[in-house]
Structure 1
Amino acid sequence: MIIILLIFLYSAFYSNKQLQHPIPSFFTQITGSDSPSTGLSRAFSALVLFDIKSAKEFNPFAVQIFLFFVFQLVFRILTFFLMKYNISWINTYILADICLSIFAFSLAFRPLILFSFKLFRNFIVN
């Protein structure tokens, strides 16, 4: 939960257009080409300001990845309270949380996962 909050805080802090994001794309620096994650920091900053149009321009996958993190934050907070009050159906909730999280992760990060497999395959073949 703390990591997700830090991601949102980082995005909010660097949402000012005059500030440059201090973390460059390592992949782009090494290869000279873009990856599906290029522009995510700027896109998250735009999304914190509810600028969906700019976010999609920075990275077409940003909205789905951002929503995954929002979903995770809500579920972590909900889990905290359910465990605190020792709800009887907590085990069912945790199983559902795990299944939904895996499904949401695979949907949100699909382009990045496929890109990684393609990159790995090209590395092995060459």
Structure 2
Amino acid sequence: MRIPQKEFTDELKRQIEYTETELQLYLEKWLLRYQPAFLQNYMVLDGGVDKEGTDPFQPDYRSSLVISISDENEELIDLQTIPIWTCERYFFGFPVAQNFPLSQGIGELLDESLEDIQVELQEYIENFLES
């Protein structure tokens, strides 16, 4: 869901941080549950919430849930990335790096519920283990 800069509030910032934290906690539990099955197949399951930047309302900020599957030699087999929040600055519809007059920040927030993400991850892993 796209959110214009005028709607950047403390409540939105808390929602972004809450979503990042909840997904990180879920993923940690999830990794503990599935890691043994991957190790039996000589693979490594890893993941976490990847963040770029420090302030969610600055154009250089991005956060994503990242899950990787590697073989025993640490070569990447598969990578799943789910964007949580991205903030960019636009000038007349074009992304820009600098703060021009009349440019505005626009954020893109994950529009799926935490439960939907959990189901999606569950299906992703189970399908991968079955193949």
- TM-score for both structures, normalised by structure 2: 0.30
Question: Which is helix-richer, 1 or 2?
Answer: 1
More strand by share: 2
TM-score, structure 1 normalization: 0.31
